Amino acid sequence: MSTEPFKNVRLLPQTNQLLGLYTIIRDKNTARPNFVFYADRIIRLLVEEGLNYLPVQSAEVETITGEKFEGCDFLGKICGVSIVRAGESMEQGLRDCCRSVRIGKILIQRDEETAQPKLFFEKLPADIANRFVFLLDPMLATGGSAIMATDVLIKRGVKPERIIFLNLVCSKDGVDKYHAAFPDVKIVTGAIDKGLDDNKYLRPGLGDFGDRYYCM
């Protein structure tokens, strides 16, 4: 699906390799070990793409042959913030690409009385306002949890344009709602599903990501 209608959404190139990975993790018959393995591959691709949107400066080094090479250095420090629990599945993919990266956590659960998201816990780096933040959550359905988590980051001093939200699957409804609140946050995703069902689950979706990654 084209991302032209979506400002600040970066969709991974829909190659045969990527579609093959999604075919495996969407299949209800995929066993947990295979689900984890192939989901991790997608997560790594998302992290690599997200890193492309960090600012850089020119840098010159000398190679072992004595030649000069004009390259670049990243500017600024980064951290990851996972929306517990499913977002924790994406932490290792970030660590694989960024050595010694700091990780924060935000726990949001649905209030059974109001059916609205409720903040239960946050643990973030003390200097998070000075970092670029990768917000980690595999699914963006209604956008409620992601909006609350982003609001927590902004209240801690993080500028919206320094937040990159990584997720495996999102819906147009979720993107629209999220960007209505935070138009300057970049979303990097691998799939944009056609919508939500009556229970607010993604369609075609892939089920409860956390359950399939950790339990099934």
Give the pLDDT score at 178: 96
Residues tagged active-site: 110, 114, 208, 211
- In the chain (216 residues long), the average pLDDT of successive 10-residue segments reads 67 97 97 97 97 95 97 94 95 94 92 73 95 97 93 97 97 94 97 89 92 88
Q: Give the C-alpha separation, 131 to 110, whole Å.
A: 29
Count how many domains the chain has: 1
pTM, to two decimals: 0.92
Closest CA to 79 of 169, 147, 158, 182: 158
Query: Which whole-number Å values give the CA distances from 177 to 39, 126, 146, 182, in the listed order?
Result: 25, 29, 10, 9
Q: Domain containing 129: what range?
A: 9-214
Q: Which two tokens stand for residue 60?
A: 């010159």
| Residue 2 domain-assigned (yes or no) | no
| Residue 148 domain-assigned (yes or no) | yes
Give the pLDDT score at 180: 95
∠ Cα 187 117 183 (to 5°): 30
Read off the DSSP letter of residue 156.
T
CATH of the domain at 25: 3.40.50.2020
Read off the DSSP letter of residue 86.
G
Alpha helices in 52-131 (DSSP H): 91-97
| Residue 199 domain-assigned (yes or no) | yes
Read off the DSSP letter of residue 182.
-
Give the pLDDT score at 216: 66
What is the number of residues in the chain?
A: 216
Give the pLDDT score at 76: 87
Q: Are 54 and 77 in contact (CB under 8 A)?
A: no
| Residue 1 domain-assigned (yes or no) | no
Give the pLDDT score at 111: 67
If DSSP codes are grouped into helix, strand and coil, which group holds residue 161?
A: helix
| Residue 209 domain-assigned (yes or no) | yes
| Residue 180 domain-assigned (yes or no) | yes
